[in-house]
Amino acid sequence: MTPLSIVPRLLRVASVLLAYQLDELVDAAHLYRPLKLLRPFLPRPRNDVKRLPRGERLRLALTELGPIFVKAGQVLSTRRDLVPADIADQLSLLQDQVTPFAGSEARAIVEAELKASIDQLYARFDETPLASASIAQVHAATLHDGREVVVKALRPGIAVRIARDVKLLRSLGELAQRWHPNADKIRPLDVVAEVEKMLENELDLQREGANASLLKRNFDSGVDLYVPAVHWELTSARVLTLERVHGVSSDDITAIEAAGIDRKALAAKGVRVFYEQVFRDNFFHADAHPGNIWVDPTRPAEPRFIALDFGIMGSLPEADQYWLAQNFIALFERDYARIAQLHVAAGWMPAEVRLDELEAAVRTVCEPYFTRPLSQISLAELVVKLFQTARRFELTLQPQLILLQKTLLNIEGVGRMLDPDIDIWAVAHPVLKRILRERYSPRRMLHDVRKRLPEWLHQAPELPELVRDALLQVRRGERRYVVDPLALQLERDSARRLHRLLASGLLGSSLIVAATLFGTLASQHGIWPPAILGAAGLLAFAAGWPHSR
C-alpha cells in the first residue's frame, strides 16, 4: 500500500504526465486511472507540446518533475535493449543542470568539512559557481602556491532529499511493476535500484576522488587521456578538490578544428582509450558524454582527451571481462557459433538453451549489418540488437554490462561526431587482440601464478574432497545434464580442461614447493635442483593454464 504521505506528490507526477500528453503512462498505473475524470478540469496541453514526438515530451516532463526524475531518465536511456530507440535518444539528452545554491553556503560546507576557514584552505575561493547539478556544485579556487583548482561541494541537505525522492520513485516503480502492460520488459524496479546505487555513489565525493586517482594512474603518461590530480588534503566525503583543467567539449567541432587538431586521429584515439579502459584496466568512465570528455586544444600534434566527473565508473568481474572480450573478437570475425557457445559457457544463459537456435538468431541479427561497408556499421547499435535478441533466450544481464553498453554508445557517438567516416571495427579489432595477447601472455600467466600460488597451496588439500562431492552429486542425480548435444559436449570439454588444470596445478604446486625447500640447500652448497624443479613447476602450470580458458 502506498503511504498517504506521498499521494499528493504522486498526483503531481500524474498531472505533469497528463500535461505533456503522456496519457498511456497514467492509464497504465491503477492509482492514476481516476484522473481521467479530472482531465476536463486540467489545463490543456499547449499546441507546441501536442506536436512534439513522445520521446521529447517525456524528456520535458521529467525535467519539470525535478532532479531525481532526471536521474531516472538518464538511467533508463541506457536500457536500449528495453526502451524504444526514439525514447532512449531523447532521454540521453537529459541534462543534470539545476538552479545553483548560494556561494556562501558552499563556503560554509567546505569550512565545516575541512575544519578550517576558507582563507586558510585557499588563497582565493570564487563564490560564483562554475557549474551546478542536482547533487553538487563546482567552484573555482586558487591554492596558496598559485595552482588553480576546482572545489566540488555537495548540496545542503541533499542526502535527506535524495532519500525522500527515492522513496517516491520506488513507489512509482512498484505501481508500474504491478500495472504497466510491459513491466516485464521495462523492469521498473531494476531501474529504480540502479538509480539508488548511482546516487549512493555520487553522494560520496571521497569515492569520486579515489576513482579519479585510479584512472589517472592507469593513464599516467597523460599522452592519450589526461585526468586532473586530486588534492587529498582538501577532500572529504562532502568536498572534493581537483586540479583545474582547461579544454573544449569533444562535440565542439568548430573549436577543435580551430586548434588545428586532426579529428580522424582524435576519433581513433578515443576508441582505443575506451577499449584500454575496459579490457586492459577493467576500470572505465561510465558517464562519457561530451560534457565530461574534453579535448586539449594546446596539443595539435599529439591530441589527447581530458576526463571530468568521476562519480560513475564501471568495472566487470574478471570472468565477465574475459567472456566479453572473446565475444567481441568472435563478433569481429563473424563466428556466430562461438558467440552462442560463449554465452552459455559464461553462464549468461541457461545451460539447456539450444545452441543451434541461438547461433541462428545471432546470425539473423548480424548478417544484414555485414552487407554494409564497415565504416557504416554501428557496433553500439549491433550490440543493443544482440542484447534484445538474447533476452528471448533468457539472457541474464548484469548491471556492469548495462553500464558498458551505455559507455559504448557514448564513445561511438563521440567518435562519429569527430569523424563521421570512422571504421570502428578496423580501429577496435587490433586494439582488442593486442590487449588480449598481452593480458594472457606467458609473462602475465607467470605473474598470476605467483600471485595465486599461496591460495592454491592453501586449498590444495581440499581438492580431492571437492571432486568426490561433485561425483556423488552426479551419481545421486542432483546435477542436471544439458539436454542439447552441442551444449553437453561443451560441458564435457570444460570438465576435461578443469581436470587437466587441477592435475597440472597440483603437480606444479608440488614441484615449486620442492624447489623452495631445496632453496636453502642451494644457497649453501650451490646445487641445481631448485632451478630445475621450479622450471618444471611453471611448465606444469603452463600445460594446464591455456586450456582452462
Contact 32, 12 (CB under 8 A): no
Query: Residue written as cell 609473462?
Result: 443
Residue 227: phi and psi, rounded to 5, are: -120, 130
Residue 40 DSSP one-character state: G
Residue positions annotated with a catalytic role: 287
- Look up residue 215 and give its amino acid: L
- Look up residue 61 and give its amino acid: A
Three-state SS string across 369-389, please?
HHHCCHHHCCHHHHHHHHHHH
Q: Which strands form 136-142's sheet, in the order they lie side by side?
A: 124-132, 136-142, 148-154, 239-243
Strand pairing partners for 37?
Answer: none
Alpha-carbon gap, residue 429 to 325, rounded angstroms: 10
Contact 347, 311 (CB under 8 A): no
Alpha-carbon gap, residue 504 to 488, rounded angstroms: 24
Alpha-carbon gap, residue 252 to 498, rounded angstroms: 52
Residue ranges of alpha helices (H) inside 20-157 are: 23-28, 47-50, 54-65, 67-77, 85-91, 103-114, 118-121
Alpha-carbon gap, residue 307 to 283, rounded angstroms: 13
Contact 90, 58 (CB under 8 A): yes
Alpha-carbon gap, residue 416 to 314, rounded angstroms: 23
Q: Where would I find the beta strands (DSSP E) of 171-307?
A: 225-226, 239-243, 248-249, 284-285, 293-295, 305-307
Alpha-carbon gap, residue 35 to 501, rounded angstroms: 65
Residue 204: phi and psi, rounded to 5, are: -115, 95
Contact 383, 249 (CB under 8 A): no
Alpha-carbon gap, residue 272 to 266, rounded angstroms: 10
Give the Å distances, CA to CA, from 202 to 135, 376, 416.
Answer: 7, 36, 29
Residue 309 region, left (φ>0) first, then alpha (ψ -120 to 50), else beta?
left
Give the CA radius of gyration of the chain: 28
Contact 94, 70 (CB under 8 A): yes
Contact 219, 268 (CB under 8 A): no
Contact 489, 538 (CB under 8 A): no
Contact 19, 65 (CB under 8 A): no
- Please state, as a whole number, how many other Cβ atoms lie within 10 Å of the Cβ of residue 122: 23
In terms of C-beta density within 10 A (0-12 exposed, 13-18 middle, 19 or more buried), how is residue 144 classed?
Answer: exposed
